Structure 1
Amino acid sequence: MTAAEIRLSVAIMHHPRRRERIPPLVRDCAPLEARVVTDPDPDGVPSPLRTAKVAWRSIQDGATHHLVLQDDIVLIPGFATQLHRVISSRPGHGISLYSHWDSPQNSYLVRRAAIAGWSFAPLSKSEWTPTQGFVLPVALARELADFLRDIPDEVKDDDEMVVRFCREAGIPVVGTVPHLVDHRFDPTIVGHPGRFHATVFLPSPVLSADYWQFSASAEAALGRRVEPDEKLAYTVQMHRSRCLLRPLRPGTGEPVEHGFGWYWADHCGLVGVAVSDVLDGFENLMETQDLPWRIALEVWAAGYLLGADAVTVRRGGAAGIWPPATVGAVLAEAVMSSWIASGLAEPDADRLDAGDRAALVAVGLAGVAQGWLSGWHTS
């Protein structure tokens, strides 16, 4: 399906508390015509699901695909053009235009795809599907609306229901890399704790017309990580200034958002990486840095493990240096910047100034490069 053949229907989920956001958001959708779907019971118990039920039924006549946006977001410049290109590349997929920067699974899957040089990341089949901006073919959008209809509004979280629907219906779901949508730093209507930001968002990305090209081999390589029969399924997490490995155990009943991870130095051998390999080169790098050793080591380790993992899904025939030609420096920097910003413990974040943060990003990217090269030579 070409971009010209895409006829896109757009609905914006809206709560009256955020009425000032609607005019600029509608304007930034142009030339797409966005319908505003207001919470049918704005004074009731907060429930995105209640509004999502209406939004997924608000499909414009003649549309091939339906996009639902939330009203607490910002869009990239040229949003409509990029979105048409995205959909034409994956016309049968569910497509998320955002992922949360410290989600236990999807944020890492997006970072891994970015460092491996791919413009789409297959997303988790158990973690909530990001719905700040989500696209489905119209037939599937109607099925989703039917699926949501009888779920009590008190369930609240539409994203938890969307991942269940897509999993049960066998719909492949990918996230765009970079994201086309970012979350505002505002409290959520439901009151979820924490700060909200995209995993990899470039305010003004420069993307060629063929940037969103489809690759069955890349999608298969990346997608193995989220399959239930994958024997070595894990993600890497920066949490409270520590680098952790999180084994993925679908079907065990473990809540996706549980707060337990394995410290990298104790368990990296399980993913085929020796502690000595991770540490190699770190001391020499730190001779030129004026950073807290403890924090820098965790960032370096996270970067190393990401690079060593991402190289396993590299493009066929890619050069053995990092980053791959398809990964721009700006994108790689965004990957690491959001990882550090979301993963530092508050006391550490408070004591680091802008220069320290920039130096930490450089340390993390040096770790990625070291892990990439090590993985390249051992793969």
Structure 2
Amino acid sequence: MTSYRLSGAVMTHPKRLAAAEQLAGAAPPGALQVVMDPDPGGRPSVLRTALAAWSAIGEDATHHLVVQDDMLLSDSFFERAGAAVEAMPHAALALFALWDSRNGAAVRLGALAGARWVTAVNEYFPCVAIVLPRDAAAGFVDYGRARLDAWPDDILMYRFMRDNGIPGHVSVPSLVEHEDHGSISGNAFRGPRRSVCFLPDDRPADESVRLPGLRVAPFFKNGVAQCAVRLEEPGPERWLHLECESFLEGSGIRGERLDSAMLGLTEVTDREAVRGTWLTAFTLGFVHRRDGRGDAPDPARDPVLAEALATIGPGGISHRRSEEQIAEVRDELAAVAEAGLAAG
């Protein structure tokens, strides 16, 4: 049996050195080294620092982990990451997905199916906490150095993986959460950036249980319930983007049925947030059943699914709400999401 060895790095900037050192200090001894931006006075560049971090792979490591300095690790982070490497040694492993992203939608579908990992969808590949096999880490360094001014690191990572046939999987639930110390790379305009599903005390399970081959990824972003739909055609994989209502109508579900199902939600605080949350959750339930995965589990008995549903609404309004404002409506929107899932 092959023995896999994981090295790790925390990528940081001098302005955030204290946070990086705290993160590294909380890990098992030697598990994470701090890697600094090689040009801290230059134009802010996550990619520049990421390439330095990927270059810091241990001499005897078969795999390398890179994590950003503003992350909180789950209690079982290294245990789960190690088990995942054993189960998927040739894959790129994203340990985080944003609550309003297409890969976040994939995580929710994975939670519905009882999976621990889900195949990444056609987007960027989340890079705030990621594991690569040794050869892939070295290959990405060369790939990125030739494209320093082209794209952000997560888009380049997706393109590198696509060009080199490297499979990518996203964890269910996330193994890390953003602590949001403030962005120094131009992402502050996005509002709070949280995981689709983070349970700090989640325990390792069978990390080989994966959900592959997603065809539809419903998500709520910038106030709009929308879908990424994989086109069934030969050639390179392509996805169509449309609003959930259009997708549902094309699947035979008329708007009148949706409006009727939402009648009981008329006394809520924020109609746009509620409608977007409900439509996204309804579409999740519809896709889950349509694809032959049976009835949805009961969120009351499944903490991973409950948390994944509870972030639909907050993610969809995070572009215009503060952490405090989101907290005020989180429970209400979680109930709306559960109602939408059941109706779908």
| TM-score bracket for the superposition, by shorter chain length | 0.7 to 0.9
2:195 is aligned to 198
**Cα distance in 1, alignment partners of residues 323 and 129 from structure 2:** 32
**Larger deviation, residues 176-185 vs 351-360:** 351-360
The 8 Å contact of residues 218 and 225 in structure 2, kept in 1 or not, is answered as: yes
Partner of 1:70: 68
Contact 1:95 1:134 in 2 (8 A): yes
Could you say which residue in structure 2 is the equivalent of 1:270? Answer: 250
In structure 2, the partner of 1:142 is 138
SS for the counterpart of 2:190 is coil
Q: Which residue identity does 2:144 align to in structure 1?
A: L
Q: Which one of 326, 333, 358 corresponds to residue 306 of structure 2?
A: 333
The correspondence for 1:46, drawn from 44, 47, 60, is 44
**Cα separation, partners in 2 of 1:310 and 1:44, compared to 1, 3 Å:** same
Match of 2:107 among 102, 106, 110: 110
CA distance in 2, matches of 1:313, 1:150: 41
TM-score, length-normalised on structure 2?
0.86
CA deviation after TM superposition for structure 1 residue 33, in Å: 2.1
- What is the distance in 1 between the residues matched to 2:326 and 2:38? 45
Q: Equivalences for 1:147-162 in 2 at 5 Å?
A: 147-152=143-148, 154-155=149-150, 157-162=152-157
| SS of corresponding position for 1:298 | helix
| 1:161 to partner: Cα distance | 1.2
Shift in Å, 1:305: 0.5
Task: Please list the CA deviations of residues 141-197 of structure 1 after superposition, one character each: whole Å capped at 9, or x if unmatched.
Answer: 122222223223x34621121111100001110100101111222332221221211
Matched, 1:296 2:274: yes
Provide structure 1 residue ranges, at least 5 long, that are not aligned to the other structure.
226-233, 372-379
2:124 and 2:57 map into 1 onto residues whose CA distance is 23
Q: Say which SS state the counterpart of residue 107 (structure 1) adopts.
A: helix
Is residue 32–residue 80 contact of structure 1 (8 Å, CA) maintained in 2?
A: no
Distance 1:314 1:179, change over 3 A: farther
Q: Is residue 102–residue 339 contact of structure 1 (8 Å, CA) maintained in 2?
A: yes
Task: Write the letter of the residue equivalent to 1:132.
Answer: V
Moved more, 189-198 or 176-185: 189-198
Per the TM alignment, residue 276 of structure 1 is displaced from its structure 2 partner at its CA by: 4.3
Task: Extract unaligned runs of 5+ from structure 2.
Answer: none
The one-letter code of the counterpart of 1:185 is D
Q: RMSD value over aligned CA atoms? A: 3.2
Equivalent pair of 1:336/1:364 in contact (CA under 8 Å): yes
Runs of 4+ in 1 over 6 A off after TM superposition: 345-353
How far off its partner does 1:321 sit?
A: 3.8
| 1:148 partner letter | G
Residues 47-88 of structure 1 show CA distances to partners (whole Å, capped at 9, x for unaligned) of 111112221121112111111111121111132112111211
Which amino acid in structure 2 is aligned with residue 366 of structure 1? Answer: A
1:7-27, Cα deviation, whole Å (9 max, x unpaired):
101111111110111232112
> SS state of the match for residue 68, structure 1?
strand
* Secondary structure, counterpart of 1:115 in structure 2: helix
**Amino acid aligned to 1:307:** G
Q: Percent identity among equivalent residues?
A: 28
Q: Summarize the Cα distance change of 1:143–1:279 in structure 2 as closer, same or farther, 3 Å threshold.
A: same
Aligned length: 339
Q: Hey, what does 1:307 align to over in structure 2?
A: 285
**Pairing 1:322–2:296 present:** yes
Local SS of the residue matching 2:141: helix
CA distance, structure 2, for counterparts of residue 119 and residue 184 of structure 1: 23
For residue 165 of structure 1, the aligned residue among 156, 160, 180 is 160
CA contact (8 A) 1:46 1:156 kept: no
Residues 117 and 314 of structure 1 are in contact (CA less than 8 Å); yes or no, is this contact kept in structure 2?
no
Q: Against the structure 1 CA distance between its residues 16 and 272, is the aligned structure 2 distance closer, same or farther, given a 3 Å change threshold?
A: farther
Matches within 5 A, 1:172-321: 172-192=167-187, 193-195=189-191, 196-205=193-202, 207-208=203-204, 210-215=205-210, 218-219=211-212, 223-225=213-215, 234-247=216-229, 262-279=242-259, 281-283=261-263, 285-286=264-265, 290-292=268-270, 295-313=273-291, 320-321=294-295
Match for 1:303: what amino acid? A
* Residue type of the alignment partner of 2:285: G
Cα deviation code 1:293-349 (max 9, x no counterpart):
55433322221111111234565xxxx442179x95322222122221121277788
Residue 277 of structure 1 deviates from its aligned partner by: 4.3
Map 1:123-142 → 2, pairs under 5 A: 123-125=120-122, 127-142=123-138
